[in-house]
Amino acid sequence: MGYAFIDTAVKAGDIRARTLNVSTGGLFRSFTWNGPGRHTLRVRLTAGNVRLVE
């Protein structure tokens, strides 16, 4: 992935990123990651699913 920083949060739902071995679901879930890339990704949802696909 070309990201330096990933920050996701969901109040009710799932966060999945297979390439980073992340799979979590339920209420008040979050995930942060630091990498060697140049870009920043921030996602905030009240309800729904976040899928990071490379």
| CA 11 to chain CA centroid, nearest Å | 13
Cα 38 from Cα 18, distance rounded (Å): 20
Read off the pLDDT of residues 21-42 as tens digits, 9 standing for 90 and up.
Answer: 999 999 999 999 999 999 999 9
Confidence at residue 1, expressed as pLDDT on a 0 to 100 scale: 64
Q: Has residue 16 got a pLDDT over 90? A: yes
Cβ pair 2, 40 in contact under 8 A: no
